[in-house]
Amino acid sequence: MAGAGKKSNRRAIYEALRRRVLTLELAPGAALSENELAAELGVSRTPVRESLILLAEEGLVQVFPKIGSFVCRVDPEKVADAQFLREAVELAALEDLPPALDAELLAELAANLERQRTGGIGLEEFFELDEEFHHGLLRLSGHGNAWGTVVAAKGHLDRARRLGLYDARSPDEFIAQHVAIHAAVAAGDVAGARVAMRTHLRAVFADVERIRQRSPELFDTDPTSTPTRRNVVVWE
pTM of structure: 0.87
pLDDT digits (tens, 9 = 90+) for 171-206: 999 999 999 999 999 999 999 999 999 999 999 999
pLDDT digits (tens, 9 = 90+) for 101-127: 999 999 999 999 999 999 888 999 999
Does residue 35 sit in the same domain as residue 13? yes
Does residue 208 sit in the same domain as residue 226? no
Instruction: List the domain range (segments joined by +) for residue 18.
Output: 2-73+220-235
Does residue 112 sit in the same domain as residue 10? no
Does residue 87 sit in the same domain as residue 177? yes
Does residue 85 sit in the same domain as residue 145? yes
Strand partners, 71: 61
26 pLDDT band, cuts 50/70/90, is very high
